[in-house]
Structure 1
Amino acid sequence: MSEALPTPRRALTAIDDDGRSYIEEDGASPAEFTLPGTTYRSTNMWRTAAAPSAINAPDDITEHRGVLPPPGGTVLRVIDFPPIGDSTPQERAAAAKAVFAALYPDATHHEGSARSASMHTTDTIDYAIILSGEIVAVMDLGEAVLRAGDILIQRGTAHGWENRGNAICRVAFVLIDAAR
């Protein structure tokens, strides 16, 4: 198993009573979830409830559940994907099922997909920003290998993620509520 990456750091700014900016919080997000027995980690960093959002909206990220942003809002999430290594398709399917059941019950999981055990669909526009490592974005037709610095714009399509490399891959996702 690959060694876990350091916890993502979240620096949160604010404005004091005199109108001056400052760092209000600096450290780990209070909304981190791991899949027991793995290096899979999903860290919710921030969310907005609407657009436009109030600049001084309170930090309510610990109240966020599931994968989807609030209606009309956004969520910023960092996910560490462990390598699939030499796991069997059955093991990958069981791991994907556990992730969706525990963390993302509001996504439409395409259980039993021949393309990838992690295939799912959300009614969102997603910006997937590869921060480190390498990951494969699997579509119904085809796939793309993405490396650190690459960005995928996912527009409500069925998709899955597979880390076929040797190291953990870290991806930052900005999910924006969208309509079909």
Structure 2
Amino acid sequence: MKTIPRRIVTGIRNGKSIIEKDAIISNVSEHFPGLIISDIWSTDSMPVKLEEEKIIENIAFPHTPKNGSYFRYVQIPPDKDLGIIAEQGQSHPLMHQTDTLDYIVILSGEIYLIVDEDQTLLQAGDIVVQRGTNHAWSNRSDAPCIQLAILLDASK
């Protein structure tokens, strides 16, 4: 699996569908060693304006635009490669809460989804519907986990 994905964007010219862009993602960052984030697309309205391209600043914990969405590809390295040691009974050091509805698909590898009162092992093909809860990702394996995430603006 590629660390940085290729993005193909379609469009319409003269009433016909076309491939408007075809390139490796350039909006990529490595906020922690081995944690590769490729931001693919975002929107800032609903309904979406199809003719508009919008990519927002690539940060570890993004701020999804009001009434918008955020699409990202993430490679999460093993915890040991990040120097993360989660002690029994203590909160994971990367625990955070979002204010979005997130659709997350595990593309390869495995990772634990940790929430305040529980955790579960996710493997390739598993899908998470993350509803604005406190959570962390813990990769206890020896290989990176690749996930695809779509974050939608939400209200409580």
Q: Which residue of 1 aligns with 2:67?
A: 72
- Asked if the contact 1:68/1:124 (under 8 Å) is kept, the reply is no
* Cα distance in structure 2, aligned partners of 1:170 and 1:6: 8
Identity %: 34
Asked if residue 22 in structure 1 is aligned to residue 22 in structure 2, the reply is no
Q: Which residue of 1 aligns with 2:106?
A: 130
What root-mean-square deviation, in Å, do the aligned CA atoms of Structure 1 and Structure 2 show? 2.0
* Cα distance in structure 2, aligned partners of 1:64 and 1:70: 11
* Cα distance in structure 2, aligned partners of 1:86 and 1:49: 35
The structure where helix makes up a greater share of residues is 1
One-letter amino acid matched to 1:74: S
| Count of matched residue positions in the alignment of Structure 1 and Structure 2 | 151
* Cα distance in structure 1, aligned partners of 2:2 and 2:58: 23
Deviation for aligned residue 1:55 = 1.1
Q: Which residue of 1 aligns with 2:54?
A: 60
* Cα distance in structure 2, aligned partners of 1:25 and 1:9: 10
2:29 to 25, 28, 33: 33
One-letter amino acid matched to 1:15: I
Asked if residue 153 in structure 1 is aligned to residue 129 in structure 2, the reply is yes
Question: Structure 2 stretches of 5 or more lacking a match?
Answer: none
One-letter amino acid matched to 1:75: Y
- Asked if the contact 2:113/2:119 (under 8 Å) is kept, the reply is yes
1:92 to 84, 89, 114: 84
- Asked if the contact 1:137/1:144 (under 8 Å) is kept, the reply is yes
Asked if residue 44 in structure 1 is aligned to residue 20 in structure 2, the reply is no
Deviation for aligned residue 1:50 = 1.0
TM-score normalized by structure 2?
0.89
* Cα distance in structure 1, aligned partners of 2:93 and 2:23: 33
Question: Structure 1 stretches of 5 or more lacking a match?
Answer: 94-112
Deviation for aligned residue 1:86 = 7.2
* Cα distance in structure 1, aligned partners of 2:138 and 2:2: 17
Q: Which residue of 1 aligns with 2:10?
A: 13
Deviation for aligned residue 1:14 = 0.9
